[in-house]
Homo-oligomer: A and B are copies of this chain.
C-alpha cells in the first residue's frame, strides 16, 4: 500500500491561487517590534522608496485650530533608510496600550505589510499592536476563561428589517444560569463591530470577570445606524465603501433607533437566559451612542438601572422638535424620580464635546439629579473609551 501514500508538500499546501508564497516568501522584516523596555521599532523594506513616514496614535500631538474646534493632531514622522530598510524607533517607551498606525510610502498611506493585525475604523484600516502590562494586559487575550462572541441577527419590527448584533456571553454561560445584560452602543461611523474590535470588549470582560471585578454578564453591541442592517461588508449591500453618512442622514432615523430600542431588549430576553428587570439592565455608549443611551434611558425610565455616557450625552438641538428630545427636561425628571442605580458620565479633558458635557453636568447638578463623573486626559479617542468601559463595567449589577 506504500505507493498509495503521498508526501504532501506541506509548505505549499495553503497556496492561494496565484501562489504568492512562492513569489514572496514570508515578510522580509519584523515590524512592529515591541522591545523589553517598551520602546517600539517599526520597519519597512522598500529599497526603491524615496520617503517613508510613520503615522500613529502614539506620536506626540499638536493642538490645531479649525472652524470645527481645536484638535490634538499627531503629525507623521520620517522613517530612516539603511540598506533598503526604513526604520523608526519611539524615542521613549510607550505606555501599555493598544496602538494603531499606518505607513506612508511616497505619499501613499498603507498598512504595515509585515503586520497582519488590523482594525477598521469607519473607512480607514489601521495596523495595530499592543504594549503589554497594566491596561495593555487588560486588552490582551490571557490564560483566563473566555466568553463566547456571536454575530446574531434579529428581526426589528420597529425598523422593519433584519439587523445584526454582536453578543458577548461570559465564560460559563453555556453551562446554565441567568445573567444581567449590558447594552453597549457605538459612535457615529461605527457599527456592531466597533466595540468588539476597537473597544476590546471581550478581552476586557474576560479579564475583569476572571479577576472577580466584574459580574458575569451578557454584553449586547447594537448597530445604531437605523438605516443599516449590519456593518459594511456584512449586509446585502455587499462590499461598499464604508461611510459615516451625513449628519442629516443619521438624524433622520436616530429617533427611530431610540424609540424602537425595546425591540432589541425583547429579542435578547427571548433568546438568551437573562435576569430580567431594570436592576439587571445597563446601557452605555460613546459619542453618538452616549446621546442614544441618554435618550433611550430617559424615554424608557423603567428599563435601565445603569446608564453610562462616554464622551457625549445631553440633548440634540437639531432634533428638538422630535418628541424624543423635545421634552428632555420632563423625561429626565421622570427618569431621576425613579432613582437609577448609577448615572455615569465620562469625558476626556481635551474632548471637543467637553463644553457641552460640562453644561449637561451643571444642569444635572442644578436639578439635584445624582450622577458620577470620571474625567481623563486626552480627547475623543478609543483609548479613552476602552478606559471608560474598564471603569464602568465593574460598577454594574452590584446593587
**A-to-B contact residues, CB < 8 Å:** 1-24, 26-27, 30, 44-50, 55-57, 59, 61, 64, 66, 68-69, 71-74, 100, 102, 105-111, 113-118, 120-126, 128-130, 132, 140-143, 145-146, 148-153, 162, 164, 171, 174, 187-190, 230, 232-236, 238-239, 241-244, 246-247, 250, 271, 287-288, 291, 312, 314-318, 320, 328-329, 352-353, 355-357, 359-360, 362-363, 378-383
Contact = CB atoms under 8 A, between A and B. Distances in A.
A178 B212 CA distance: 35
A27 B107 contact: no
B146 A188 contact: no
Contacts of A124: 16, 20-21, 24, 116
Given A3-B359, A18-B55, A22-B66, A11 B247 contact: yes
A19 B72 contact: yes
A287 B14 contact: yes
Contact of A13 (B17, B230, B380): B380
A102 B116 CA distance: 14
A128 B236 CA distance: 16
A122 B8 CA distance: 17
A162 to B, nearest CB: 7
Q: Which 9 A-B pairs have the closest CB atoms?
A: A6-B356, A17-B57, A14-B189, A18-B74, A5-B317, A48-B106, A150-B150, A10-B247, A17-B381
A10 to B, nearest CB: 4
A356 B6 CA distance: 5
